[in-house]
Amino acid sequence: MRKSDNKQNKRSLVETDGKEQDVKLTNRPSTCKYFFYLVVLSIGFVCLGCSSKKTGEKKAETSASSGKEVKQLKRKNDKLKKAAAKTVQGKERRVRVGSQLDKDKVSAIIAEFDSPIIAERKIELIKSLSEVISADEQSVISVVQKSLDDSNPEVGRAAITLLEDYETPEILPVVERALNSKDEQTRIAALTPLSGIDDPQVSSLLIQALSDTSEDVRTAALEAVDEQEDPIKLSVMKIGISSPYKDVKSTVVSTLENRGDHIALEILIEGLKDTDATFRENINETLDFLIDKQFKTYKEARAWWLENKNNYDENLFLIDDK
């Protein structure tokens, strides 16, 4: 039989139970057919990949379009949470002013504190004084002032905590003194009572703390700023946006983004004066989130805002889009 005939219809003999049977073998697929199948399969996988990519791009576009709305809702929710937390803190705060004076005990503590005693005993007396329900602010202020002069920083550190329950402008001079202490923990503790005092001097003290060489002190100052009401908070933010410290500027930007109103935007625009290109880029990203705009310079941003601010409502939504 010729090879050509054999390729077309190959037969073989198989012995089964001693009998010969014809078995027809099917034609083998040619190499060209295999190649054809591979090409078809490859095209199919490519088409499937393109389809998946387009689907992913559509999902990304949908996510991007809704992302801004989600962030804006989150911003409003954060404001409500902070307001609620502050209300709870206000209710839980202990009020000493106006409580019954324990004059004898306070007098005894002050008298011993002024006598020649070791630092450990002074700290014990400070703790005893903190347990006395007293409205005698001057006595407490006097103890704190003397403690800040002590050579042992632990004495001043313990004494400054006495001011936490006396949130009145009268304690601000001693707070200022504590903020100039060499002891970092004393400077941090001095910021705690500022959150409950409504006085213009608080702004200058917080600004001073934001310029502290210690990052921990600056962090504590930013937390105290966050608990303040307008206009103290805004006056500090206006200075903070130009801080030489990146941690301060970044926190100010985040706070203003969450605030998301006209005043916040105007302070953010001031950040475009910064010499740091990376920080200016951060400012532009925030502006893009709030109003879908970016600017090359402060002058360009300022001019645009003066011309267009009336087109935005309190929460920086375009009025025409309502």
- pLDDT tens digits along 201-223: 999 999 999 999 999 999 999 99
Q: Is the pLDDT of residue 8 over 60?
A: no
3-state helix, strand, coil in the chain (%, to 5): 70, 5, 25
Residue 282's pLDDT band (cuts 50, 70, 90): very high
CA nearest neighbour of 158 among 196, 193, 190:
190
Amino acid identity of residue 138, one-letter, is Q
Of 264 and 76, the structure prediction assigns the larger pLDDT to: 264
How do the domains of the chain map onto residue ranges?
A: 241-322
Q: What is the pLDDT of residue 269?
A: 97
Rounded to whole angstroms, the Cα distance separating 43 from 125 reads 86
Residue 174 banded pLDDT, cuts 50, 70, 90:
very high
Q: DSSP for 6-42, please give it.
A: HHHS-EEEEEETTEEEEEEPPPPPPHHHHHHHHHHHH
**CA separation for the pair 197, 204 (Å, rounded):** 13
Task: Tell me the mean pLDDT in the region 295-308.
Answer: 97
Choose between 85 and 120: higher pLDDT: 120
In whole angstroms, give the CA distance from residue 240 to residue 242: 5
Residue 168 reports pLDDT greater than 60: yes
% of the chain surpassing 90 pLDDT: 52
Q: Convert the pLDDT of each residue in 29-45 to its tens digit.
A: 455 555 555 555 556 55
Whole-number average pLDDT of the chain: 78
Answer for the pair 299, 272: CB distance below 8 angstroms, yes or no: no
102-160, pLDDT tens digit by residue? 677 888 888 898 899 999 999 999 998 888 755 577 888 999 999 999 999 999 999 99
Per-residue pLDDT, averaged over 273-294, amounts to: 96
